[in-house]
Structure 1
Amino acid sequence: MAKKTKSGKETPLMKQYNAIKAKYPGALLLFRVGDFYETFGQDAVTASKVLDIVLTKRANGSASHIELAGFPHHALDAYLPRLVRAGYRVAICDQLEDPKSVKGIVKRGVTELVTPGLSFNDNVLEQKTNNYLASVYFGKKDDCGVAFLDLSTGEFMLSTGTAQYVDNLVQGLKPSEILYAKPQKDRFNEIFSEQANSFALDDWAFTYDFAFEQLTQHFGTKSLKGFGVEELTEGIIAAGAVTQYLKDTEHKEVAHISALSRIEADRYVWLDRFTIRNLELIHPQQDGGVPLIQIMDKTLTPMGGRMLKKWVLLPLKEKDAIDRRLSAVEALYKDEDLRDDISDLFRHISDLERLISKVAVGRVNPRELLLLKKTLIQVEPLKELLQENGHSELLKLADMLNPCAYLRDRIEAEIKDDAPLVINQGGIFRDGIDPELDELRSLAFSGKDHLEQIRQREIERTGIPSLKIAYNKVFGYYLEVSNAHKDKVPEEWIRKQTLVNAERYITEELKTYEEKILNAEGQLTVIEQRRYMELVRNAAEYVTPVQQNARVIATLDCLASFADIAETHGYTRPDVHEGMEIDIKNGRHPVIERQLPAGESYVPNDVLLNDGDQQIIVITGPNMSGKSALLRQTALITLMAQMGSFVPADKAQIGITDKVFTRVGASDNLSKGESTFMVEMTETASIMNNLSERSLVLMDEIGRGTSTYDGVSIAWAIVEYLHNHSRCKAKTLFATHYHELNQLANDFKGIKNFNVSVKEHDGKVIFLRKLREGGSAHSFGIHVAQLAGMPNGIVDRANEVLGYLEKEKAQEKQAEKVAKIPANNYQLSLFDAVDPRLEELKNKLEKIDVNTLTPLEAMMKLNDLKEVMK
């Protein structure tokens, strides 16, 4: 009980509680007291709200009290996930010795600190989602390191890059918790302000020497060269902090974290946070929406579902790697029987990654061992199926599968099919496994037969036909004799209790047998637990091959999923090449076509983009005509191809793309004081500053958040910039309402005008959703307003105003008041012109060392340059 003595001093229990609580600041402490986990003070207030349990108050000295809230210890698995999902770090403090054998205060200690990013609890984890703990470290200049650990699977990755690159990874992989160094709090909040759960560590945990020692000690290596990460200094520092955090949170058994892999920026397509959001790869932007992953995920195993998310977020850039995936998908696509057989096996496969991780940390229960066995049973026939197909990529996968026959057979031979959920209930092992276990079981569970033998023998010896043998907690087993026969009781029987109609006796034989039974039950539990943990330790020797099996099964599951959706939805194999052209014939949006009403088919479109005569397509047309869908489907088809998936098109030739940028839709970011237009410009600036020659850029309605003239001017300048860029001829789809941009096609060879066609009939507009060459001269905005149910009075007045404005515009043109915007046909280099003043200016600028100038010198130099231009 949480209270003080009458003198006002802390009780031994509260003194112990406060000492333990002080070691885990910021964590909610679950303190084991008897059969309950208790919380005290502010922890109790928090727990009562989150868990909806009763908050009480207990006396804490003569003039104070302390809040108290608790729940039964056996309900931990029900309550703990709710606290963790709410974002709390939870320290579980258990009794470290048997209260029955201790006088005074029981020794207690924290046995585990569960955090949002560190958990093995199935009720906390999502089956098809990794539960990453991330760590970020900001190095010199713009270098930033990041590490990701999924404790539940043992996956450990790191990378180094710009802060923006790390932010992209964080936004994509969605860690449940992020670590950072305390001195870097402001920088962390500036970049990762949207991250809900974070924890600051002391800065000494983020030093290279410390991290290097931590990692090499953990992996038992002299260096990190074998993992290919030795040059990623900031990433190593971030990973070292993760290993320290594991120690801080009492996670000592981590043998399943057996490798450290590198997320190679050069290997994957750059997808910034805006693109991941705008293309709705993983999450829909609106409630009820459908993301791409939902269409593509037909995986049957938890490992496959988790791997597919990574494939969607990290499309490949290496042609050979893409082709290998596509070839494997094609083999499965053509062999429907093989896919069916694989599916039948996969339905019996459990979460192999997380099961073997529980084995490694000694937290696997008997039923989970049975699931591990049942999964390993599927490996042998799966291996044979892949070998029979004979395709080279499938043969490679088959070769990596290991049935782990000894482990599988041992679990099958020793663990009962109806084994209990917890190991202290007994009944784990089969009969015949251990002679000592068999003998003890005979004593403990065949007692009724033996007692009946004793009863029959005593009836014959004493002539008492109604003799009974029974048991109670006060004096154990006893013989009961009715008063009618008590004169026949032998002298050696000891009377223990007199009833109204009978008397109860004990004998030396009964007491000896009772002692054997009670000892047998206690010994059974001890022996079974010891033998079970020995089996778990032996199983832990198979962590590496089982993890490899899990990776192979996950890979095959993803490939089979791609083959399944290809057949179901009529996808074709893309031709991924190293050229610069994207040529899609009759492409479709993979998500929208699945959401159409029955009987309505998606209108396909062709798209051709290159770095020459069709680098930029300016698309005009009204809202609802399908411009945004066309932009998104082009990006999705490109990304699906580079994931290794077939695509929704009749034919697709995809030149490898290294970056995909989207500027589609916007909303206010009021928390940062940013308007819709500011958000739009920020995202657009990010695109312009990160272009590459193989980029694919999708821009929708740029400039619409400001005045018409400002908007047209900005959109115009952006299209020119993309066309005239001296290095990066980014392939671009530019959807706009500004029909003035149609003029650009006349001025620049790489810009083409297209429109999404519509048809007017009886004053109404019909959307044909077909992309046609040539610009559109109408927005049909008033028609769209009418379709949306705008009151007729407003529609009529809008048409009246439109007529007036168009008349005025025609008059202005006649009076030549509107000049044609001059073409900006020069490349984006200040010094390409032949003006001698520019040459002189260039020479003077090259001689200036801006790093050594004082402010006054800089002003004088600037004035000098102005004189040159005059």
Structure 2
Amino acid sequence: MSPPKLTPMLQQYLEIKEQYPGTILFYRMGDFYEMFFEDAELASKVLGITLTSRSHKDDANKIPMCGVPFHAVSGYLGKMVKAGYRVAICEQVEDPKAAKGIVKREVIRVVSPGVTTEDQLLDAKNDCYVSALVLTKKSNKELLAGLAFVDISTGRFQLAEIAYPHNNPASLVDTFTRMRPAELLIAQDECKQLAPITEQLSSELGQLCLTPRPDFQFETEAATTTLTEHFKTSNLAGFGCDQFTVAINAAGALLHYLHETQKTELAHIKQLTPLHQSGYLIIDDSSRRNLELTETLIGGQRQGSLLAALDATQTPMGARLLRRWLLFPLQDKQSIEGRLESVEELIHNGEIRRNLQQLLSEVYDLERLCSRLVLGHGNARDMAAIKTSLAGLPSLHHLLAQCSAPLLIQMTESFDVLADLHELIDAAIRDDAPISLREGKLICEGYNEELDHLLLLLRDGKKLILDLETKERERSGISKLKVGYNKVFGYYFEVSRAQAANLPEDYIRKQTLVNAERFITPELKELENSIITAQDRRLELEYELFSEVREKLTEQDHRLLQTAEILAQIDVLTNFAELAVKHRYCRPTLDQSRSLDIQEGRHPVIERSLPPGRFVPNDVHLDQEAQEVLIITGPNMAGKSTVLRQTALIVLMAHIGSFVPAESAELCLVDRIFTRVGAMDDLRHGQSTFMVEMNETANILNNATTDSLVILDEIGRGTSTYDGLSIAWAVAEELAQKDKLGVKTLFATHYHELTDLAATNSRIKNFSIAVKEWNDTIIFLHKLIQGATNRSYGIQVASLAGVPDHVIKRASEILKNIELGEYTPQGEPKIAKSAGRKKIAPQPRQMALFAPPYSPTVDFLSSLQPDDMTPREALELLYKAVELAQKE
């Protein structure tokens, strides 16, 4: 079979495709983006479009082909990228009318899961990071990871270094799960070595696009050069990053990748920020999941999470900032107090708060709009959105200037209302401008003299010709001079043959008729040419003017981004104030003690799901003197887990500068919040429920400090009762004694034996969730009270859950049997007794007055290990036992 014949166009396609391996090439042909060969077969399946062929359908060498219309490319592009593919956009960079031979084409950008500015691909409320990873050996026991993250849609560029033990990359994985990048770059030669890490990250993050890159880009010299040339500095000391040698390698490779894929200067990436681990309250990935900070534990939905409950922000920038604050809670008291003071002022001044929110609701996503302009993707509608956003800034600044909180004053002083940029867009860009930049109707009349003239020609061309006719009648003195038109000569002046001799000298004869003469003048031909070419020139000029405006805005991108950052902070703070007013939150008091005292605390998520007034608030006090570890008992569904979680969430909310759902809250700053909640197999890592429990418990015991808060819910349920009880006891004991000061801990359990711990340590106290027994059932009071309970009420809960009555009755009988003892006097297991079975009268028993005499037979039998015997050995030992008994 002969190979398929390649046209010049297909040869060009394959040459460009070769330059971009690992991508799907969207190749522009007229009004479509076409794909060929394997790309077409893949894209047709992913996009659900028809696969055709380039040649005749009966041709054995037909070339697979499919295409999508250019005006709808964003939707198709979104499907490809969300499916995990990288797409190279190849455009015609030459006018087909002026092309000699095949039209010149070039890839103008590459879109990938982590590198995109398309609205259809971005979640307005989440950052979209592309990351890079470099690993090196720090010592015989430790590895050093260099990480870099960029959100190209906002220009945020961060790096970090993390040291971790060879066999425990938990801290590295935790950073990735907090940042949640969509794409990860690694060196090509490191793919096999990094496979265990990348597989774990893919498992934790879901769909992670892995992108191998040339090794030289990760080398120190090349990476440093890439960074310093971009930032136009001699070194990176000014960013506080010069000591991050390994992370700089990752950052340089990442920036090189962005330059290569975006084909532009990336001017909106203006600084490199260290992602410090210190200075923030640490909540590991397991605890973030258990507390459902950003998504629910079941289903992974945003709705039902703490983030969703706290997010009533007005702008996308504010929503993203709130998420970052929640994932990186502050630990600096002064910074937290600065936020709290701002929130308090906005609570007390409701009119300013409401007006700020109204103005913020009219602000679009300035961060991403600015980035689109800088990258050359922005259109006139993006500029119109920027203009609308800037229109309210003077009023917003005026409102802010009335505030007295130090943080708000600082924002006021830094606030740039960008009046000149608003004026520029308002004067230049039409409100009804289309998305396309090549269709005209972009620029306002009055902005450019030449464009105004072209618009006049297009709108009033015939009138201008008639005006010239009137002018020439007056100049020539020939009242019957008239303008005509034909396809051969275009426009002309016509007069009678008798009057031709009286025409001015600049008239040029073009045609002689029987009774008339036709002439042209330079002015007439110039006007005609202007009218004929006006539309093409108008489209060209409007694009040029738009590009000039875009360039002027791009030059001021630092001002736009700074204002966007301030607007995001105002948005989050007014959001906190609105939540506090609407849901009766109080300002937490932060002190230097090591105690937590929450009065009438509530769960910020569960409270909203119940009718008003139905949620039962609870008090929680923890200190490191008299009440450090609380052992909380009570039935399922009574509310133990709610009390535990709400305590952690109240502490967390205080650390992000929010008011909290409580009557009052006096809190110390904590360094970490640990949780061990629920029981669930981790099938991705082949771990059982018990193994997951023990991993999380080990992490707590190894890393909790005296400044930490620990939340434990049902330790030891994944193994046998006695093993679980023993482990739970030892864990509680260790937390009460760790570093001689112990760790503030809430410990919910069904092991009632743990309540005996309170007798062994004065810092351990027993609490329970109150219930009321009524008519053989129970009523949950959901109230935390001091003192232990010795009942779990499991059978009553089972009844409430709808377990059949006869099963409930039988369970009650079995429970009574167990409580009376394990065996009947006849040796029958009491767990098997039933009221419906024949009762055997008990035989009287007399307790012996003296201890039984020593028995060699009993002693011999008690020393045996039957499980370790062969049948023959067992028979021989049985004969020996009989022999001993006969001697007695």
TM range (shorter): 0.7 to 0.9
- Give 2:398's aligned residue: 384
- Partners of 1:658 and 1:260 in 2: CA distance: 26
SS in 2 for 1:425: coil
Mapped partners of 1:96, 1:66: distance in 2: 25
Distance across 2 between alignment mates of 1:586 and 1:661: 23
Number of the residue aligned with 1:149: 150
What amino acid maps onto 1:587 in structure 2? G
Cα shift at 1:628: 0.5
Are 2:710 and 2:746, in contact at CA under 8 Å, matched by a contact in 1? yes
Task: Say if 1:227 and 1:305 are closer, same or farther in 2 by CA, change over 3 A.
Answer: same
Q: Secondary structure at the match of 1:193?
A: helix
The match for 1:84 is 81
Partners of 1:650 and 1:154 in 2: CA distance: 41
| 2:706 aligned partner | 693
Structure 1 residues 9-48: aligned runs within 5 Å: 9-48=5-44
Deviation at 1:10, TM superposition (A): 2.7
Offset, 1:186: 1.6
Q: Aligned-pair distance for 1:378?
A: 2.1
Aligned partners of 2:615, 2:318: CA distance in 1, in Å? 30
Give the corresponding residue for 1:274: 286
Q: Does residue 292 of structure 2 align to residue 295 of structure 1?
A: no
- What corresponds to 1:408 in structure 2? 422
CA deviations on 1:469-524 (whole Å, 9 max, x unpaired) are: 899xx879789x9xxxxxxxx998989xxxxxxxxx99868876543212222222
Change beyond 3 A, Cα 1:434–1:252 = closer
Runs of 5+ unmatched residues, structure 2? 495-499, 501-507, 826-888
State the identity as a percent: 41
2:205 matches 1:193: no
Residue 457 to residue 382, structure 1, CA distance change in 2 (3 Å): closer
- Which residue among 98, 101, 114 is the counterpart of 1:117? 114
Q: Is the contact between residue 370 and residue 411 of structure 1 (CA under 8 Å) also seen in structure 2?
A: yes
Contact conserved, 2:670 with 2:707, CA < 8 A, in 1? yes
Equivalent residue number for residue 352 of structure 1? 366
SS of the residue corresponding to residue 44 of structure 2 reads: helix
User: Which of the pair has more CA radius of gyration?
Assistant: 2
User: Partner of 2:228 in structure 1?
Assistant: 216
Q: Deviations over 1:71-108 (max 9, x none)?
A: 12222123212211222110111122122222322222
Q: CA deviation at 1:458?
A: 13
Q: Is the 8 A contact 1:146 1:239 kept in 2?
A: yes
Amino acid at match of 1:95: Q
Query: What secondary structure sits across from 2:145 in the alignment?
Result: strand
Contact 1:36/1:70 (8 A) holds in 2: yes
8 Å Cα contact 1:757-1:772 kept in structure 2: yes
Q: Contact (CA 8 Å) 2:632, 2:749: kept in 1 or not?
A: yes
CA offsets, 1:507-561, max 9 Å, x none? Answer: 8688765432122222222222222222222212211121111111111111111
Q: Are the equivalent residues in 2 in contact too, given 1:760–1:766 (CA < 8 A)?
A: yes
Task: State the distance in 2 between where 1:477 and 1:398 align.
Answer: 64
Deviations 1:25-45 (A, max 9, x none): 211111112221111122112
Instruction: Report the CA distance between 1:806 and its aligned residue.
Output: 0.8
Distance 2:372 2:202 in 1: 33
Distance (Å, rounded) in 2 between the aligned partners of 1:477 and 1:494: 12
Residue 256 (structure 1) aligned with residue 268 (structure 2) = yes
Per-residue CA deviation, residues 19-73 of structure 1 (Å, 9 max, x unaligned), is 2112222111111122211111221122212222111133399632221110122
Distance across 2 between alignment mates of 1:251 and 1:58? 31
- State the match for 2:864 in structure 1: none
Structure 1 residues 522 and 737, CA gap change in structure 2 (3 angstroms)? same
Label 1:99 to 1:783 Cα distance change in 2 as closer, same or farther (>3 A): same
Which residue is 1:854 aligned to?
Answer: none
2:750 corresponds to: 737
What's 1:601 paired with?
614
Which SS does the other structure have where 2:63 is aligned?
strand
| Contact 2:134 2:186 (C-alpha < 8 Å) held by counterparts | yes
For 2:159 and 2:566, how far apart are their aligned partners in 1?
22
Query: Structure 1 residues 193, 79: closer, same or farther in 2, change over 3 A?
Result: closer
| 1:144 partner amino acid | A
Distance 1:193 1:686, change over 3 A: farther
Q: CA deviation at 1:594?
A: 0.5
Aligned equivalents of 1:459, 1:804: Cα separation in 2: 123
Map of 1:104 onto structure 2: 101
**In structure 1, what is the equivalent of residue 560 of structure 2?**
546
**Cα distance in 2 between the residues matched to 1:339 and 1:347:** 12
Are the equivalent residues in 1 in contact too, given 2:4–2:62 (CA < 8 A)?
A: no
Shift of 1:453: 5.9
Q: Deviations over 1:114-146 (max 9, x none)?
A: 011111111111222111112222232232222
CA distance in 2, matches of 1:102, 1:593: 68
Partners of 1:89 and 1:166 in 2: CA distance: 26
Alignment of 1:210-609 (within 5 A): 210-287=222-299, 290-450=304-464, 513-596=527-610, 598-609=611-622
Write the distance in 1 (CA, Å) between the matches of 2:615 and 2:158: 41
Report deviation, 1:304.
0.6
Q: Which amino acid aligns with 2:682?
A: N
Equivalent position of 2:181 in the other structure: 175
Q: Which residue of 2 aligns with 1:721?
A: 734
In 2: Cα distance, 1:524 partner to 1:728 partner: 79
Matched, 1:748 2:761: yes
Per the TM alignment, residue 718 of structure 1 is displaced from its structure 2 partner at its CA by 1.2
Tell me the equivalent position of 2:830.
Answer: none
Is contact 1:691–1:728 with CA below 8 Å preserved after alignment? Answer: no
Please tell me the root mean square deviation across aligned C-alpha atoms, in Å. Answer: 3.2
Contact preservation (8 Å) 1:168, 1:271: no
Select 1:650's aligned residue among 650, 663, 675: 663
| TM-score, reference length from structure 1 | 0.85
Q: How much has 1:606 moved relative to structure 2?
A: 0.8
Q: Residue 843 of structure 1 aligns with which residue?
A: none
| Separation in 2, partners of 1:811, 1:511 | 121
Deviations 1:616-645 (A, max 9, x none): 111111100000001100000000001100
Structure 1 residues 476 and 326: alpha-carbon distance in aligned structure 2, compared to 1, 3 A threshold: farther
Bigger shift: residues 507-516 or 140-149: 507-516
The change in CA–CA distance for 1:507 and 1:281 in structure 2 (over 3 A counts) is: farther
Q: Which amino acid aligns with 2:17?
A: K
Distance in 1, Cα, partners of 2:822 & 2:815: 10
Instruction: State how far apart, in whole Å, the 2-side matches of 1:428 and 1:93 are.
Output: 25
Task: Say whether 1:70 aligns with 2:67.
Answer: yes
Cα deviation, residue 445, structure 1: 2.2
SS state at 1:758 partner = strand
CA distance in 2, matches of 1:476, 1:603: 92
| SS across alignment from 2:259 | helix
Partners of 2:761 and 2:425 in 1: CA distance = 72
Go from structure 1 to structure 2 and tell me whether the alpha carbon gap of 1:114 and 1:470 turns closer, same or farther (over 3 Å shift): farther
CA separation of 1:203 and 1:775: change in aligned 2, threshold 3 A: farther
Q: 1:451 to 1:609 in 2, by over 3 A?
A: same
Distance across 2 between alignment mates of 1:579 and 1:374: 49
1:711 corresponds to 2:708: no
SS of match in other structure, 1:446: helix
1:811-854 deviation digits (Å, cap 9, x = unpaired): 99xxxxxxxxxxxxxxxxxxxxxxxxxxxxxxxxxxxxxxxxxx
Q: Structure 1 CA distance, aligned partners of 2:219 and 2:624?
A: 45
Aligned to 1:837: none
Kindly indicate whether the alpha-carbon contact (under 8 Å) linking 1:455 and 1:469 is maintained by their aligned counterparts in 2: no
Structure 1 gap segments, 5+ residues each: 482-489, 496-504, 813-870
Distance 1:234 1:50, change over 3 A: same
Structure 2-normalised TM-score? Answer: 0.84
- Determine if contact 1:91/1:113 at 8 Å carries over to the other structure: yes
Code of the residue aligned with 2:7 in structure 1: it is T
Cα displacement string for residues 764-789 of structure 1 (whole angstroms, at most 9, x for unaligned residues): 01111111111110111111111111
Aligned residues between the structures: 792
1:735, 1:214 → 2: CA distance?
54
